[in-house]
Structure 1
Amino acid sequence: MPHRPRAPRPLTRRAGALLGQTALTLCLLISASLTAHAEAGAGASTGDAITHADDHPGEWLGHGRTWSEQRYSPLDAINADNVGSLHLAWHLDLDTNRGQEGSPIVEGGVMYETTAWSMVKAVDAATGKLLWSYDPKVVRSFADKGCCDVVNRGPALWNDKIYVATYDNRLIALDKHDGHVVWSVDTIPHDAELGSQRSYTITGAPLAAKGQIVIGNGGAELGARGFISAFNAETGKLSWRFYTVPNAHNAPDHAASDDVLRKVAYPTWSKGGAWLTQGGGGTAWDSIVYDPVTDLIYIGTGNGSPWSYLLRSEGKGDNLFLSSIIAVKPDTGEYVWHFQETPKDQWDYTSVQHIMTLDLPINGTMRHVIAHAPKNGFFYILDAKTGEFLSGKNFVYVNWAKGLDPKTGRPLFTPDALYSTKGNLWYGFPGTMGGHGVPEMAYSPKTGYVYIPVQQAPDFYQTAHTMEVHPDAWNLGEETVASDARDSYQSLAKITRDLRGWLVAWDPVHQRAAWRTPEGTDPINGGLLATAGDVVFQGLANGQFHAYDARNGKDLFSFDAQSGILAPPVSYLANSKQYVAVEVGWGGGYGLYPSGLERRKPGSTNHSRILAFTLDGADSLPPAQVMSLPPLSPPHDYDKKSALAGSRQFALYCQWCHGNLAKSNGVLPDLRYSSAIADNGAFESIVGKGALEAFGMDRFDKSLSPEEIETIRQYLIWRAHQTLEEQAAKGGKPAH
C-alpha cells in the first residue's frame, strides 16, 4: 500500500482538494504499475486506459468515467462563462418510452448506451447516427417480476466487448464493432437455497475491472436473497460469487462468502422469521465499484426481505449484511471488511446508492476514503482500505435517528421509528424513496464539493400483524389496508405537502452544505455531471435540463427536454468539440412509484431520447406531444363493498405499475380511463388470462381468482367516479 502524504496543518478546502487530487493521481500511478502484471493477458488495455483516464479526457470509459466514480470531466471548453450559449447538437429518438436511466460509455467517437428493456445502441457521438443496435428480447410480461420499471443504468466496456446485464438476469458480451453476441450467461444460481423465487431482475450497470465483469441482482421486494457474481470477461465463465445474507440453514453455499456469512452474519439473524422463506434481501442491484488504490471492490447492499423487521427476523439482530457496504478482493471475492449503515433496516434505506472514492484531509491527515450518501439521509466518510468510520452527518432532514455515534457511525435510533417492534403507525423522514435515490452524485476536485441530488419525500410505515405471501406481488410485511379513499387522500396530501427537492453542494471535509438550489416541491432530481468548466449538469422530472455554476449554484442554462430526466449526463470530445449528452425518459422507480407523484406537466407524453449539446449546436426538437385523455365515462353502477375489497388487491398487485389510487404518471395506462372496466369479461381476459401479455401486462390467474379480479374492476369504477367528482369541483377541468 503506497504511503500517503501528511498535511503539516489543517488545509483550506481548495488546497485540500488540490492536494487530494495530486495524492490520488500518485496512488493510481503506483497502483497501476503494481497491478500491470496481474492484468496482463486479461485485458490490460481497458484497465490502463481507465487508470490513466485524464490522459485522454475526451472519452468516458467507465460508468463514472474513472475508477473513483466521481463523474467529473476535465473538459472545460464548455464553462460557466459560456454555457448559457449551449445548443442542442443532435437527438436520437429511442424505440421504447419506458423509464430511461442509462449512463453511456464513449470511446473512439462512438457512444454505447443502454435503454429500457436492456437494449443497446451504438451511436456516432458527433452526429447521433445509429451505428448498430441490439435487443436481448426480454419477454415483456416479465416486467412485473421487478421493483421499479424495466430500466437499465448502462453498459460496461472491456477491450473489444460491450457488456449489458438484462432485466431477465442474463449477462451478455457484445462485439463493440457490430453488436453481435460473443457470449451470454445466466447470472442466477439455481440451487435449493434460492427455492422457487423468481423475482430476480437486473437494472444496474455491470462493473468491468481486472478482466472480470461483476454484476448484482435485485428483487428483495418480491422475495430474494442477495448476491454478487463475477464472470471472466473473455469467456463468461463464473469466477466467484458472494452472497450478502446467510442462507436459512447456515450451510455453505460453496461461495466466496461462506466463512464470513457463517461466522459473522448468521448470528445477527433470528432462528425464525419470514427471512427463512423470503430470502432475507440485501440485493446488490446498483453501485459496485472497483478501487485500484486499495485493490478492492465495494458493494452496496439493499433492504431486507420482507421490510418489516419484526416479521423478517422476529425483531432480533442487526441482520447483516443488509443496507451495508462490503469490500471484497476482485480476483477471488474474498471478504475484507463491511460497514452497516442501517442496522435492523425496516425503512427500505438501501445502501446501493452511488459510491465514490476521494482523497480528503481528515483531521489534518490525507486519507483515501469512500464518500456515500445512501437513502437513510446521512453522508458517510469511511476509510477505503479498512472501512473505518471517519465522519457522518445528515444531508437532509431525518427523524428515524438522532444522529450517528461519533466513534462507530452506528445510528442513534429514535424510539418511534422502530415501528415494527413497537406496533405504531410512523411517519418517517426520509420515506422509502430515501434522502438520495438512484440518480448519481458528482464531485469536483476544483471546488472540493460532492454534488448530491437530494429529496425530502416522507412515507407512512406500519407493520402487518402476520406475514402473508402473495405470488406476483410485493411482499413487504407492511400493512395494506382496504380503506375509504378519504383516508388515503389525507395521507397522500400530507406527504405531498412535505415533498421537497434540491441540488446540494456538500463539503465532505466539514460535513455541511456549501450551497443548494432553491427549494422545490418536486423531489425528483436526475443524476449529475461536474466539469472542469465549473459547471454542474442535471435533468429534472419536469423535463428541464439545467447547467448550474459549480461554485455557487447559480442557474446558468436550461433546456426543455419534453420528458422527465433521471439519467446522469456525460461529457466527451468528438471532432475536437466538447459535448454534453444525457438520456431522457420518465419512468423507473420514481415514474412508477406509488406515492401519487405524477409528471409535473399534466397531459405531456413521455418521449425517450438521447440528447447531445455543444456550443455551436444547430438541432431542435419537434413540438412536444400532448396526451389527450378520453372523457371519463365509467359504468354508472358499482358495488362499494366490493370496491373497498378491490382497493386492497389493487394495492398489492397493481399500484406499483399503474399508480397509487390508480393515478397513472403517464408512462403506463391510467386504468380509470380504460374502456375495459366497462366489461367484466374484457377486464378478466386482460388481468386473468393475459390478453395483453405481448405488451408487458402479465396474467394473474394463478394469483387472483375471477372474483378478486372483479373487485379490482369495481375499485377502478369507484375511482373513476371519484375523479369525476374532483373534476366537477374544479369546474370540469380534467384531473390528471
Structure 2
Amino acid sequence: MRNLPCSRAGWLLAAATLVTNVSLAQSGDEAWQTGGNNWRQNYFSPLKDIDPSNVDQLGFAWQYDIDFDSMLEATPVVVDGTLYTSGSGGIVYALDPVTGKQRWKFEPKIDPSFNGEVGYGLTNRGVAVANGKVYVGAIDGWLYALNATNGSVAWKVDTINDRNRAYSITGAPYIAGKRVVIGNAGSELDARGYVTAYDLETGKQAWRFFTVPGDPKKGFEHPELKEAAKTWSKDSRWDVGLGGTAWDGMAYDPELNIIYVGTGNGAPWDRNVRSPGGGDNLFLSCILAINVDTGRLLWHYQTTPRDTWDYTATQKMVLADITIDSRPRKVVMQAPKNGFFYVLDRQTGELLSAKPYTKVTWASGIDMKTGRPIETGSADYTNQPRLVTPGPNGARAWQPMSYNSVTGLVYIPVFDTTAVFATVAEKFQYKKKNFNEGVHRAVVLPDGELLVLSLPEGLKFDQPLPRPKMFLRAWDPVTQKAAWEVDITGTPEKGAMIRRPGGVMSTASELVFQGDLDGHFKVFHGRTGAQLRDINVGTSIMAAPMTYKIDGVQYVAVMAGIGAYPGYADYHYGNKGRVVAFKLGGGDVPQRPLVSQVAPPSGEPPLPDTGTPEQIASGKALFAQHCAMCHANGRAPDLTRSNAATHAEFKDIVLKGGRSAKGMPNFAEVISEKDAQAIQAFIIHAAAKQTSASTTANGPNPAVK
C-alpha cells in the first residue's frame, strides 16, 4: 500500500448524506458551539462588537476559580445560555456565562489503581454538547453523557478494550451526526490505537476503527487492517501495541457525513525497532476520513510514513472552503508536528499542497505526485546521533490554530524546536504499562543547553544547538506562505525547560487572541500582526480562548492555569486554575500573589543523603526508565524539590496510587518496593547536590542532564 494524495486502497467515497446536529442549528452565531466553535473547528467567530477601534477597552468581566493543580487545556463552549468546560481528569463545570457563577459541577470518580497516560496531570481538552447532553471523556477511559440541565449522568460507557494496557482519554469527544466519537491516548506506552463511535442517546457502540493492525496471526477486526498489515514488517512488535492513538484532533463534515481523525506516533519510536525491515506502518501519523454511519475508511493520507521522530498527526484540523487555482475546493487543513502545512480535498483525499510552515531538516519537501515526504537522510539516527528539527515536541503540539475566513489566513502557534535522537544499543525490552519509546533522545532548552532524557552516559554532541523559539505565524493556505509573524519566545529564566505557545482564536473583526505562559493575554491585528492589547491575567495560559454574545454583550473567555508544572514556563503565579472572561469596559484582572520557587518549597534543608552508590546508580537508571519522561521535562513537578512530608509518603504515592487524583499513576505493576526505595535514594542524592535555589528554581533535574 503506497502513500498517495488520494488513497487507492479500494475504499470509495460513499454518497454524501446530510446530517444536521440539532444543538448547533439552535445555537446561532452568538454562541460557541464546539471546541473549535462550529463543525469546521476553525476557532473563528463571526462576532464583530470587539474590534480594532475599541479593543483597548477590553477588560475583566468575571472569573471562576478552579481549585486544582492541573494544566487546563480545554476551550469552553456556550450552548443555550450556559458555558460548559472541563478540567482535571474530566471534571465538568457548568457556569453562568454573564457572571461566572457555577450552575453545577460533575466530577468523575477515578479508580486509584488506574495507570494510564496521566503524566500530564489528568489533562482534559474539553466537552461536546448536543441534544440536551454534555459529553466528556474521563482520564480513566470512561465516556460520560450528562444531562445539560443539572449534570446528572444519563449514561456512561467504558471505552477501553484492554485494561492490561495503559490507555486513557485526554482529548475531547466529537459530535458526528447521531454519534459521539472519542479516541484514546497512550502511544508512548503500550496502547494500540483506535477510535470509537457511540449512539448519542443510548451510549451503545456503533463501530470501532483500529488505527494499527494487531498480530496478523490473530486475524483482523475490519478489512482495512488486512491492507494496513502489508505496510508492517512480519517481525513488528505486535506485543507492544504499536501506538497510533487518536488522542486529540478530529473534525466532522455534516454534508459529507465524514469524520476526519488524526492519528499518533508509533511505539517504539525507532522504526527499526518497531517494524524491522521497513514498511510505511499504516495508519500511524495519518489523517483518516471515516464514514460516520458505517465506520468504514473512505480515504487516508499519511503525513509521515514510517515515522521515527514522534511526528503525530493528531493536531487540530480545520475544514474550510477556499479557492485554489481559480477553483473552489472543500478542504481539510492541518499543521502537524512534522512542520509541513497540508491542504487536502476533504471529499477525495487529494493532496492539494504541502509546504513547511517552520524550519524542517528531516525532509526537503513533499513529492506532489506520490504525496510522500522527501527525506534528507540527515535525521536518520540509525548509525549515529542526529540533530533533528522539529524535535519530538513538534512544530506544533495540541494548541489549536485558527482559520479566519475574512482575512483568509490561518493563525498558527508555532514551536520551533530541535532535538537529538540516537539508537539504543541494548535490545529493546517491552515494559508493560510504561514508556516504550525505544530511542535515546535529548531536547534543546531555551537557554541552549541539552536536557538529556535518555542519551548514553558520556555521549558528546558537538553540533551547534539552536535555541527553541515560539511564533504566532499568520499563514496563507492558498499561497502556502507566511503573511506575518510575531516572535513570542520571550526571555525565559535560566533553566526553564519547555515553553510552548498558547492556542489561538480569531474573529470577523480581524482580531487574533492568544494567551501566554507568562500570564499575559494578547490581541493582535489579523492582517498585520500589530499588537493591539495586552492584559495581565497573572495566570499562565496554554488553552485557546473563545468568544460569545449574551444579552447584546460580547465576551471573550479563556481557561488559565498550567498546574504544578514550573518546567513549562517562567511563571511565579499560583498553580490554581481559573476561567477568566473579558468584555468591553471591564476592569483589571484580579492578581494573585507571587509564589516562592525555592527548593524545597517549605525551605527545609535537603534530606540526609544516605543511599549507597549502588542504590543511587540503580535508582538513576530506574528514574530514567520510569520517571524522566514526566518529571525531567516539565510535565510533572521536579522531585528534587520534594519536602520531608512528601518523602514520608513516597512509597504510598508510587506503589499505592496515593496521588492518582493529581495525575500520579500507580506503579505497583511495574516496579518493586526495592526499586521505589532506589528511586527515592537517587532523588534525595540529586537534591543534595543542588547548591543554591537560584540555580534550581524552575530548572531541569540536574541528575538527568
Would you say the 8 A contact 1:250–1:266 is kept in 2?
A: no
Partner of 1:244: 211
Distance 1:476 1:409, change over 3 A: same
Partner of 2:429: 468
Bigger shift: residues 154-163 or 492-501 = 492-501
* Separation in structure 1 between the aligned mates of residue 419 and residue 612 of structure 2, nearest angstrom: 30
Would you say the 8 A contact 1:309–1:344 is kept in 2?
A: yes
| Structure 2 unaligned regions, length at least 5 | 1-15, 443-450, 493-498, 701-705
Please list, as runs of the form range in 1=range in 2, the aligned pairs for 1:14-413 lying within 5 A after superposition: 35=17, 44-46=21-23, 48-49=25-26, 56-139=28-111, 142=114, 145-146=117-118, 148-189=120-161, 194=162, 197-249=164-216, 251-254=218-221, 258-262=222-226, 264-274=227-237, 276-413=238-375
Partner of 1:26: none
CA RMSD of aligned residues (A): 3.0
Would you say the 8 A contact 1:634–1:677 is kept in 2?
A: no
Query: Does 2:627 correspond to 1:658?
Result: no
Would you say the 8 A contact 1:640–1:718 is kept in 2?
A: no
Distance 1:143 1:578, change over 3 A: farther
Q: CA deviation at 1:711?
A: 2.7
Count of paired positions: 666
Show CA shifts across 1:351-400 (max 9, x none). Answer: 01011112222222121111110000000111111111111111111111
Query: Does 2:399 correspond to 1:439?
Result: yes
Show CA shifts across 1:287-331 (max 9, x none). Answer: 121113433111100000221111111141000010000101111
Distance 1:639 1:333, change over 3 A: same
Query: Does 2:467 correspond to 1:504?
Result: no
- Aligned match for 2:679, one of 704, 707, 712: 712
* Separation in structure 1 between the aligned mates of residue 196 and residue 412 of structure 2, nearest angstrom: 29
Q: CA deviation at 1:157?
A: 1.1
Distance 1:183 1:409, change over 3 A: same
Q: Secondary structure in 2 aligned to 1:710?
A: helix
Show CA shifts across 1:604-626 (max 9, x none). Answer: 32120000000122463143341
Distance 1:536 1:483, change over 3 A: closer
Amino acid paired to 1:609: R
* Separation in structure 2 between the aligned mates of residue 492 and residue 148 of structure 1, nearest angstrom: 29
Partner of 1:30: none
Q: Secondary structure in 1 aligned to 2:428?
A: coil
Q: CA deviation at 1:140?
A: 5.0
Amino acid paired to 2:654: V
Would you say the 8 A contact 1:432–1:459 is kept in 2?
A: yes
Query: Does 2:539 correspond to 1:563?
Result: yes
Would you say the 8 A contact 1:483–1:644 is kept in 2?
A: no
Distance 1:519 1:174, change over 3 A: closer
* Separation in structure 2 between the aligned mates of residue 347 and residue 235 of structure 1, nearest angstrom: 40
* Separation in structure 2 between the aligned mates of residue 66 and residue 250 of structure 1, nearest angstrom: 43
Bigger shift: residues 151-160 or 689-698 = 689-698
* Separation in structure 1 between the aligned mates of residue 149 and residue 697 of structure 2, nearest angstrom: 53
Amino acid paired to 2:178: G
- Aligned match for 2:622, one of 646, 649, 656: 649
Bigger shift: residues 57-66 or 487-496 = 487-496
| Structure 1 unaligned regions, length at least 5 | 1-33
Q: CA deviation at 1:250?
A: 5.8
Distance 1:235 1:683, change over 3 A: closer
Q: CA deviation at 1:123?
A: 0.3
Distance 1:619 1:225, change over 3 A: same
Q: CA deviation at 1:683?
A: 4.1
Whose helix fraction is larger, Structure 1's or Structure 2's?
A: 1
Amino acid paired to 1:425: P
Q: CA deviation at 1:631?
A: 4.3
Amino acid paired to 1:616: G
Would you say the 8 A contact 1:402–1:412 is kept in 2?
A: yes
* Separation in structure 1 between the aligned mates of residue 459 and residue 625 of structure 2, nearest angstrom: 20
Q: CA deviation at 1:105?
A: 1.5
Amino acid paired to 1:76: K
Partner of 2:416: 456
Show CA shifts across 1:629-652 (max 9, x none). Answer: 224423255544543332221122
State the identity %.
37
Distance 1:557 1:383, change over 3 A: same
TM-score by length of 1: 0.85
Q: CA deviation at 1:197?
A: 3.4
Distance 1:494 1:581, change over 3 A: farther
Partner of 2:528: 552
Q: Secondary structure in 2 aligned to 1:319?
A: coil
Partner of 1:583: 559
Distance 1:487 1:673, change over 3 A: farther
Distance 1:505 1:133, change over 3 A: same
Bigger shift: residues 393-402 or 625-634 = 625-634
Would you say the 8 A contact 2:165–2:433 is kept in 1?
A: no
Distance 1:636 1:236, change over 3 A: closer
Q: CA deviation at 1:443?
A: 1.1
Partner of 2:495: none
TM-score by length of 2: 0.88
Distance 1:734 1:291, change over 3 A: closer
Would you say the 8 A contact 1:583–1:608 is kept in 2?
A: yes
Q: Secondary structure in 2 aligned to 1:220?
A: coil
Partner of 1:599: 569
Bigger shift: residues 699-708 or 405-414 = 699-708
- Aligned match for 2:608, one of 623, 635, 638: 635
Distance 1:450 1:694, change over 3 A: closer
Q: Secondary structure in 1 aligned to 2:239?
A: helix
Would you say the 8 A contact 1:391–1:409 is kept in 2?
A: no
Would you say the 8 A contact 1:515–1:553 is kept in 2?
A: yes
- Aligned match for 2:581, one of 612, 615, 621: 612
Partner of 2:487: 518
Distance 1:735 1:99, change over 3 A: closer
Bigger shift: residues 227-236 or 522-531 = 522-531
Bigger shift: residues 522-531 or 703-712 = 703-712
Would you say the 8 A contact 1:484–1:644 is kept in 2?
A: no
